[in-house]
Amino acid sequence: MPVKVSIIIPVFKVRNFIERCVCSLFEQTLTDIEYIFVDDASPDDSLDILKACLERYPERKPQVKIIGHEKNRGLTAARNTGLRYATGEYIAHCDSDDYADRSMYQKLYDKASETNADLVFCDFYFKYKGDKVEIYNSVPLSDKENLIKAYIASGWTVVWNMIAKRELYDRYALHSPTNITYGEDFHLSVRLMHFSNIISKVELPLYYYNQENNSSIMHSLNQKHALDERVVYNEIIDFFKVERKFDECQKELAWRVLKNKQDLVLSVARHEEFMNIHPWCHKYILSCPESFCNCKIKIMMWLLTHHCRFFLLPILWLRKFMNR
């Protein structure tokens, strides 16, 4: 019999956080767990801290695999390496600067067993400096079609608040794209949901997403990340077209595309680029949620796409003047 859950944990430059992460995982109430740590050539002493923590939990030693990359290959490559070594019935991902409630994987696995689910997800916390936490309620559980639409339209589409059957990864050759550094969770999680027959949810926040790590990707967004996100959206759009599901979630995908390219409308030199990126999404500008594009941006987008650029140019000039 395979272990119940394999948890894949990439390790890179997390010396200030890895002890908290590792302890939360080794103290899980679920005993039948496989831990796969992938050292992505971390230049600090993160791996030494991990090994020191392991000495405090000797009963977990037989359940631990530590895999090393000779050179740094990035988060997604580390996750894919972990997948190749995973033997569990379900796969989970945990980032090594985050941590989990000690009952997280027990609750997720129990829900999966109870409902025969292919995928189970939960709510999570944003963890700030000190004791400050903020609950993020994931999308409500509904029929799969509406769940996926709501998931695409939500602000946070991640893989670390869920477990999914390893069979899904194997049967559909699912993995994280290795050529991008941003948007990779959306790329994988949407596919996992699409291929799942039964999806369940534990209505509790069980994962702590770290907002303290200033060196993480989420704290260093740049143009490269915007381009990576655009690649992800292009691939997901093509994926849904192949699966003949594009029409069902076209509006929600359009909102994400609009959010991704909204900065282009602020630069006169890039207006043509804006117009050429998925022009079909422009009919959804006014319905785009404020969480994706604020009202001012939507007005500017609408003016540009409705041949009212002569109204838009003074707005951009005034904005540039006031920002000096």
% residues pLDDT > 90 (the chain): 78
The pLDDT-based confidence of 187 (bands split at 50, 70, 90) is very high
In sequence order, which residues have a C-beta less than 8 Å from that of residue 34 and are 6 or more positions away?
Answer: 3, 5, 6, 7, 63, 65, 86, 87, 88
Please report the pLDDT score of residue 219 as a whole number: 44
Q: Which two tokens stand for residue 15?
A: 């010396």
In sequence order, which residues have a C-beta less than 8 Å from that of residue 316 and are 6 or more positions away?
Answer: 266, 268, 300
Q: Is the pLDDT of residue 292 over 50?
A: yes
The residue type found at 105 is Y
Q: Which of 1, 2, 58 is nearest to 26 (CA)?
A: 58
Question: By three-state DSSP, how is residue 20 classified?
Answer: helix
Q: Is the pLDDT of residue 16 over 60?
A: yes
Cβ atoms of residues 81 and 38 within 8 Å = yes
Q: Is the pLDDT of residue 220 over 50?
A: no
Provide CATH code, domain 5-216: 3.90.550.10
Q: Which two tokens stand for residue 138?
A: 């994931």
The structural domains of the chain, with segments of one domain joined by +, span 5-216, 246-322
The pLDDT-based confidence of 318 (bands split at 50, 70, 90) is low
As a whole number, mean pLDDT of residues 113-126 equals 97
Cβ atoms of residues 217 and 181 within 8 Å = yes
Half-sphere CA count of 97, side-chain side, radius 13 A: 20
Question: By three-state DSSP, how is residue 7 classified?
Answer: strand
